[in-house]
Structure 1
Amino acid sequence: MGLFLSTAFGFPTALFTPLLIATALYWVFVVIGAAETELLDGVDADGEATGLSALMSRAGLLGNAERSSARGRGAERSGRAPVTVSLTLMVCVAWFVSMMGGIMTSLLETTSTPLLLALGSVVLVIALVAAWAVTSGLVTAVARFLPGGRGDSKHDLVGRTCVIRIGEATGDFGRAGITTGSGAEISVDVRTTGGEVLPPGSTALIFEHDQDRDVFLVTGFDAALDPGRD
């Protein structure tokens, strides 16, 4: 137990131990329903990854490679692993590799601080490379079996409802939230026509995408008039 604790809280494993504890607590919250698995995922109006999602996607850590569609000319994206899942894999692999490296280093029974730091730095690099390689390989393999598709293009959002979020929606300004087909909520620029003003919190219907201004044109929507409403 002493060797385990000294290695877990020694260099370089100590860099990953707090992350491992935080990750474990996060998944406890997920299990009890207090957090979501897509907490850190971000997408834009086209369904493309943004922020941390985009960074990890470019690093090959989300497995969202494109594959040719047999029924169309375009490319169809395979499923994208949640950012939290990829980060969890990376933390676990990095912690395990650094832990094993730290234990092997301790067997040298040296007291030279410079040597221990040098060996710890080597273990740290190996742990980071291993974490990237294992995570990239696993999510790429698993993501092929996750539901994918083309995502939500701006044209696909026409005909959907949205909720005015920031201030009033007018002919000059408006921001609204809309849930994409993947279940993520995104924020889009909206405008009204004919002098219509929509208050914050109201539901609006997107009826057109203005390509010149890159905004969505909306109008007030009454859920009671929805033909698909039970």
Structure 2
Amino acid sequence: MGVFLGAAFGFPTVLFTPMLFVVLGYWIFVIVGAADTELLDSVDSNGDAVGLSAFLSRAGLGRVPVTVALTLLICVAWFASMMGSILTTLVDTTSTPLLYALGAVVLVIALVVAWAVTSGVVMGFQRFLPARGGDSKHELVGRTCVIRIGEAREDFGQAEITTAGGASISIPVRTISGEVLSSGSTALIFDHSPDDDVFLVTAFDAALDPGQS
């Protein structure tokens, strides 16, 4: 136990340990419906990835939400760093410069392994992932979606919609004028807010569907 704690809170694993706790807390919030899986995703008015989304896309990790990519990167980096740190304890030395040098080597290896594993996982599951951007933001306006993960309100909401290719994707939604839509209800997407990158929805009345006879 002492070796485990020493490695977890020693250099370089200590750089990833706090991140691991943040990741754990974030996914707990996602499960209870208090956070959005696309919280860190960002696009410009043309639907092109910007900021962190663009960086991860250029690194070959753009086919999944930013939060998913970061979760994989942090978890794998932490694990690889832990294993490397434990192995360095086998080196019989008390030289502080040497120990920090070994830690730096472990850090570089952990980052490389994290990128390689995460990239491999994303590439391996590409066939099961919807093509992000296959349906532009504006093309989704006018379509219906199903509210998921609690209620959709002015400050929070998550919905599921089926793309033109038949894949189900999750999108962030918001209501206006204090409207609250319960989980499982069908909503109509009537606009897209590029500033917040969310879709504005309202209750859908099937009787108003032009496709109904």
TM-score by length of 1: 0.61
- Structure 1 residues 158 and 23, CA, compared in 2 at 3 Å: closer, same or farther? closer
Where does 1:14-163 land on structure 2 (aligned, <5 Å)? 14-62=14-62, 80-148=63-131, 150-152=134-136, 156=139
Assess, with a 3 A threshold, how the Cα gap between structure 1 residues 158 and 117 changes in structure 2: closer, same or farther.
closer
Which whole-Å deviations, capped at 9, do the CAs of 1:47-90 have from their partners, x for residues lacking one?
Answer: 3222211111111123xxxxxxxxxxxxxxxxx21111111110
Shift of 1:43: 2.3
Unaligned 5+ runs, structure 1: 63-79, 161-179, 187-199, 207-222
Rounded to whole Å, the distance in 1 between the matches of 2:171 and 2:137 is: 14
Q: Distance in 1 between matches of 2:30 and 2:69?
A: 15
- Cα distance in 2 for residues equivalent to 1:114 and 1:43: 44
Maintained 8 Å contact 1:8/1:14: yes
How far apart are residue 153 of structure 1 and its match?
6.6
Q: Distance in 1 between matches of 2:141 and 2:17?
A: 47
Question: Retained in 2: the 8 A contact 1:98–1:124?
Answer: yes
The CA distance in 2 between the partners of 1:2 and 1:114, in whole Å, is 22
**Cα deviation 1:90-119 (Å, max 9, x = unaligned):** 011100111011001011131101100110
What CA distance in whole angstroms lies between the structure 1 residues aligned with 2:50 and 2:171? 12
Retained in 2: the 8 A contact 1:45–1:152? Answer: no
Letter matched to residue 82 of structure 1: P
Distance in 1 between residues matched to 2:20 and 2:126, nearest whole Å: 24
Conservation of the 8 A alpha-carbon contact between 2:38 and 2:172: no
The 3-state SS of whatever aligns with 1:19 is helix
Task: Label 1:153 to 1:8 Cα distance change in 2 as closer, same or farther (>3 A).
Answer: closer
Structure 2 distance, partners of 1:128, 1:139, is 16
TM-score by length of structure 2 reads 0.66
Q: Kindly indicate whether the alpha-carbon contact (under 8 Å) linking 2:36 and 2:172 is maintained by their aligned counterparts in 1.
A: no
Alpha-carbon distance between aligned partners in 2 of 1:12 and 1:51, rounded to the nearest angstrom: 27
What secondary structure, in the 3-state scheme, does the structure 2 residue paired with 1:20 have?
helix
Residue 46 of structure 1 contacts residue 151 of structure 1 at CA under 8 Å; is this kept in 2? no
Compare 27-36 and 127-136 and name the one that shifted more: 27-36
Cα distance, 1:130–1:124 mapped onto 2, change above 3 Å: same
Of stretches 11-20 and 45-54 in structure 1, the one that deviates more from structure 2 is: 45-54
Which residue matches 2:199? none
CA distance in 2, matches of 1:85, 1:153: 21
Q: Which runs of 5+ in 2 are unaligned?
A: 144-160, 164-168, 178-189, 192-203
RMSD: 3.6
Q: Which has the larger radius of gyration?
A: 1
* CA distance in structure 1 between the aligned counterparts of 2:93 and 2:140, rounded to whole angstroms: 64
Question: C-alpha separation between the residues in 2 aligned to 1:51 and 1:145?
Answer: 25
